[in-house]
Amino acid sequence: MGRSWKERVFIALLGIAAASGLTMLILILVKATDVFLPADTKFGIVFDAGSSHTSLFVYQWPANKEKDTGVVSQALTCQIEGPGIASYTSDPTQAGESLKSCLEEALALIPQTQHQETPTFLGATAGMRLLSRKNSSQARDILAAVSQTLSNSPVDFWGAKILAGQDEGAFGWITINYVLGMLLKYSSGQWILPEERTLVGALDLGGASTQISFVPQGPILDQSTQATFRLYGANYSIYTHSYLCFGRDQVLIRLLAELAQVRLNSSVALVRHPCYHSGYQATLPLAPLHESPCVHTTDSLNLTQNLTVEGIGNPGECVAALRSLFNFSSCKDQEDCAFNGVYQPPVHGQFYAFSNFYYTFDFLNLTSRQPLHIVNDTVWKFCQKPWKLVEASYPGQERWLRDYCASGMYILVLLLEGYKFSEETWPSIQFQKQAGGVDIGWTLGYMLNLTGMIPAEALTQWRAQSYSIWMAGVVFAVLTLVAILAAAAVQLFWTQD
C-alpha cells in the first residue's frame, strides 16, 4: 500500500533535517582539520646595516617553539648594492631607496598571506654609531628615511635603530653557538639541550668596530661587560666588549692619518707607509681622513693638502705603527685587562673569528688552522712582496690589494697583544665565514632572541577561540533548524484536511 502524502512530506522534511545536519557536521570536521593542521612556518627579516655595506637576511622557524625559543634557520641572504647607510648624509632618502630591491626579493620568498605578520628589523652598527657621535641629526635623518621605506612595506616593521656594541657582540655569540648545536640539539625525535657541550667564543671584526665575546672560566668582575639572556630554557652569562674605531676600515684610516707628517707650508706632503708594498705610490686628499670621528684633528692642520703615499714594505715598522694605535700601557702587568684600560678576563675555550678576520685570512690562505709561526711568516712575506708582483698575482682585486698587509698585521697585533691570545691558545681560533650553511654574524642571534618575544601560542589560542565560538554557532544553528523542521512535520502530520 502506498504512503500518504502526509507521510511523504514528513519523510522529506526529516531528510532535509538530516542532510542539513550532515552538512554542518562536514563543515565542523573541515574546520577542525584546519585548526589541527601542523603549525605554520614563521618568517623574519633582519637588515644588517654595517659601516661598509648593508645585508638582508630572511630567517624561518616553526610556529611551535622549543622551550619558548624558535628553531631558526636561514632562508635567504641578499647583499644590498652601494655603501653603508651612514654614507647617505647628503641624501638620506637614498638610504631608504637602497633597501627596496632586496626587500622585494625577500617578499617574493615569503607567502603573501604572511607578509603583514613578518617581523622586520634594521640594526645599524658601528658606522652609524660613529655618524651619531659626529652628527646626531644626520644619523636621525638616515634612520627616519629607512624607517619610512620599511613602514610603507607590507611587513610588521619592528623599527630601525643603532645597535649597541655589546648587543652586537652578544648576538654574534648566540649565532655561532646556535649553529654549532651548542644551545639546542635534535636527538631521538626531539629537541634537547646538549648534555656535553663546549660553548665557543666569538671574534667579530667589522669596518668600524671589533667585538670579543666568550664564557670565561671565572666570574665576570666588571658588570658593564656582562651580557645575560635565556634561550631554550637555559640561562647564559657571557663576557662581551666592543671597541669602536678598531674595525678594519677605521684602523686603516687612523694608521694613514698617524703616518701623515704633514708639512703645513707645502702643497704636497710625503708619507712613507711601511704597510704598503714597495713600489706602491698614490696621491690622496687629506681631508677625507679627518672626516672620521676616530681621527683626532688639530685646528692648525691644512686639510686642503694632498698626500703622496709611498709604500716601503717593511713589516717590522708596520707592526710598530699599528701598535701605536693601541694604549697598552694602561693594562701593564694586569692579567684581566686587554688594552685601552678595558677589563677582560683571560681568553678561554674555542673561538670562531668571522667577518673581516675571515676575509683577510682567506685572501692570505690562512684559514686552515695553521700554526702561529706559519701565519706570522706568511703575513711578513706577503708584506715584503713588491707592488708590481702583487698586482700581477691578483688581477681584478686592485681595490683592496694595498691594504691586506696592514689588515693581516693588524689582526695579529689585535689578537696576540690586544686580546692576549698566545702561541698555546692560537690553535683554538677558527677563521670561518659560515657554520652549518649559515652566515656568522649578529643577525641570527638577534632573530633567536626576537622569537623569544613572539608568543608561539598567540595565534593558536586565537584560532582555538574562534573555532569554539564558530562551532557553538554551528551547533546552535543545526539544533534550531532540526527543531523547526520537526515542529513543522508534527504540525503537518496532525492537521486535518
Q: Would you please indicate which residues are annotated as catalytic (active-site) residues? A: 168
Residue 457: in which H helix or E strand, if any?
A: helix 457-494
Within 10 angstroms of residue 446's Cβ, the number of other Cβ atoms is 25
In angstroms, rounded to a whole number, what is the distance separating the alpha carbons of residues 130 and 493? 90
- Return the C-alpha cell found at 54: 648593508
Selection from 285, 181, 287, 167 nearest residue 226 by Cα: 167
Secondary structure of residue 296 in the 3-state scheme: coil
- Return the C-alpha cell found at 33: 582539520
In angstroms, rounded to a whole number, what is the distance separating the alpha carbons of residues 451 and 63? 10
Selection from 385, 417, 413, 422 nearest residue 321 by Cα: 413
Pairing of strands 434-435, 438-439: antiparallel
In angstroms, rounded to a whole number, what is the distance separating the alpha carbons of residues 232 and 133? 37
Secondary structure of residue 216 in the 3-state scheme: coil
Integer-rounded Cα radius of gyration of the chain: 32
Q: Contact, 63 vs 460, CB < 8 A?
A: yes
The separation between the first and the last C-alpha atoms of the chain, rounded to the nearest angstrom, is: 21
Q: Which amino acid is at 287?
A: A
Running DSSP on this structure, what letter comes out for residue 55? E
Neighbouring residues of 462: CB distance < 8 A, sequence distance ≥ 6: none
CA 230 to chain centroid, in Å, comes to 18
Q: Contact, 144 vs 187, CB < 8 A?
A: no
Q: What ranges make up the beta strands (E) of 131-253? A: 156-162, 185-187, 190-192, 201-205, 209-214, 226-231, 234-244
Q: What ranges make up the beta strands (E) of 277-393? A: 281-285, 306-311, 351-355
In three-state form (DSSP H/G/I as H, E/B as E, the rest C), the secondary structure along 321-343 is HHHCCCCCHHHCCCCCECCCCCE
Q: Contact, 260 vs 287, CB < 8 A?
A: no
Q: Based on the number of CB atoms within 10 Å of its own CB, is 264 exposed (0-12), middle (13-18) or buried (19 or more)?
A: exposed
